[in-house]
Amino acid sequence: MFRKIKKNLLTKNRIKKYITYAIGEIVLVVIGILIALQINNWNEQAKNNQIKTVFLKDFISDLETDIHVLKGRIIDNENRLKAIDSILFNLTNKTKLSNKKLNQFINNHYELATESYFIAEQSTIRQFETSNNGNLILPKKIKDKLFKYYAMNNRIEQNDEKSLQLYQHNFITKDIITPFLKINAPKMVNFNFNTKSFELQTLKENENYLFAINIKKINTVNQTGNYKLIINTAENIIKSINTELSK
């Protein structure tokens, strides 16, 4: 039909109308191309939104896992601090302990023979960093918060957690537990002690022991502070992500 119209226009020497018609054809083709491109952009945007949603929900899952683990670590540290306070109270205010008190006193020391350690869940951030279009789909504000969060965790783990673990293994555990191994080692297994064979004064005069107890308290307080900072940061990021998901 189009060819017939062209032919009629040309045969009637209506060049002006033919040019107008030709331009109209070009405009229609351009509009068709633009529509196709827009549909493709919509499809690509929909695909990117799906990827973004998956990443954001996975980040929330990882952050919630971190928070759950950290809260457990904080409870462990609070129990250690209670044990330290009980030990220091007895060292400061007591000269002798009953069998029952002695058992608890020893148990409190074994509470200090271990330490907390935290490594953030990193499965999603690793997938995100290796994704071809990962860096393009998240809002810059959220992306910056996530990168700062994992950088902070890495810094704390490398500088604080590892140092505490090494110091614990090489000094604190040995200096805290060794004095009790010398008291009555065979009976320690069943926590059945004879108060006559135990002297608090011996511990009060043991400088390495006292130093280890106090350093353990300082380290535990500082570590708990780090854990609370990580929790607050993670909760803030989760709030930002939920705001983005609700848009």
Over 60: is that where the pLDDT of 195 sits?
no
pLDDT, residue 130, reads: 87
**Strand runs (DSSP E) across the chain, as ranges?**
none
Taking CA atoms, 72 is separated from 63, 76, 197, in Å, by 14, 6, 37
Measured between alpha carbons, how far is 43 from 40 in angstroms, rounded to an integer? 5
Over 80: is that where the pLDDT of 203 sits?
yes
* pLDDT-above-70 percentage for the chain: 79
| Per-residue pLDDT tens digits for 28-75 | 777 767 776 776 677 677 677 888 899 999 999 999 999 999 999 999
Over 50: is that where the pLDDT of 191 sits?
no
Tokens of 93: 């205010």
Summarize the confidence of residues 204-227 as an average pLDDT. 95
pLDDT, residue 186, reads: 42
Over 50: is that where the pLDDT of 160 sits?
yes
